[in-house]
Each structure stands twice: as C-alpha cells, then as structure tokens.
Amino acid sequence: MNATRIAAWLTVPARWYLGLLFVAACLHKIADPHSFAIDISTYDILPLSLVNLAAITLPWIELAAGAMLLVGWRVRTSSVLIAGMMAVFLAALMVALARGLDMSCGCFASQGADEDPISRLTILRDLWWLGLALFVLVFDRGLVGIDHLLDRRPE
C-alpha cells in the first residue's frame, strides 16, 4: 500500500471528524439564530444589514457541508466549502485578536468570553481544522460512503 493510498484511507476518519464537528457546531446556531447574530455582531466586521442574513444562512451551509462529509457524498465539494468557511473564520478571529477584543469565538454554543475566550490557541485549532479539510480535499479517493457506492471517484 503506497503513501497516497494510506492518505486516502486516512481521509475517511478525517472527514467523519470534520463532518461531526460541523454538524455539532451548527445545531445551536440553527436553533437560536438570534444568539448567533449577536456572536457575529461582536466581531464588528460585517455591516449590520448582513449580520442576520449570515446568522440565518451560515449554519445551514455548515450543516450541508458537514452532513455531506459524514455520508461521503461529493466529499471534495464539501471539503472546499469547509476549507472556505475555515479561512473566513480564521480571518475574522485574527481581526478580533488584533483589535484586542475579549470575546468568545461563537464557534459552538454561545458562551461568554470568560468561558471560551478567543486566543492564539483558537487560531491554531482552526488552522488544524483547515489543514484537515485541505487534506481531505487533496487525498480523498471516495473510499467509503455514497461516492463509493455510486462509483464516483475523484480524478
């Protein structure tokens, strides 16, 4: 078994992990978009007119991408979505840290800054998830899941 093949198999647990992560992260945001809107607003990056729209739609994109990774359907497409979202989240985090904002990241259940403050560790954590998404994007060969059942292998 060569290195590419091993990497292809490693993408399976990686995408399950990412899929679970994103599905878990979106549930409270879908259930309580108002709290998520406050979290987005705290970053003070988006104009007010876009805050609610982002709070309503973003969790559903997370849900779609996470679920697609979990069931192995169009894995590379969902990896692109997750990598894109992680890049956006990372940029927002860096801006907030650069501004010295003492706040929660709002990534999971809304928490106060005392419980889950943003820090350089949050950046490292998000970089790790971004790396995993890119790993899946590059090495996925449709080994397990719906893509496999449909014999839909990435080129």
Distance in Å, CB of 149 to another protein, minimum: 18
Site residues for another protein per CB under 8 A: 30, 33-34, 37-38, 41-42, 44, 48-49, 51-53, 55-57, 59-61, 63-65, 68, 74, 76-78, 80-81, 84, 99-103, 113, 154-155
Q: Residue 1 or 82: which CB sits closer to another protein?
A: 82
Q: Residue 16 or 154: which CB sits closer to another protein?
A: 154
CA dihedral 134, 137, 141, 143 (to 10 degrees): 80
Q: Residue 1 or 81: which CB sits closer to another protein?
A: 81
Among residues 21, 48, 16, which one has the least CA distance to residue 107?
Answer: 21
Distance in Å, CB of 21 to another protein, minimum: 17
Strand partners, 104: 117
Distance in Å, CB of 101 to another protein, minimum: 5
Q: Residue 151 or 155: which CB sits closer to another protein?
A: 155
Alpha carbon distances (Å) from 106 to 12, 44, 64, 147: 27, 13, 19, 32
What is the rounded distance in angstroms from the CA atom of residue 65 to the CA atom of residue 136? Answer: 13
Q: Residue 19 or 33: which CB sits closer to another protein?
A: 33
What is the rounded distance in angstroms from the CA atom of residue 82 to the CA atom of residue 77? Answer: 9
Among residues 14, 21, 92, which one has the least CA distance to residue 54?
Answer: 92
Distance in Å, CB of 34 to another protein, minimum: 6
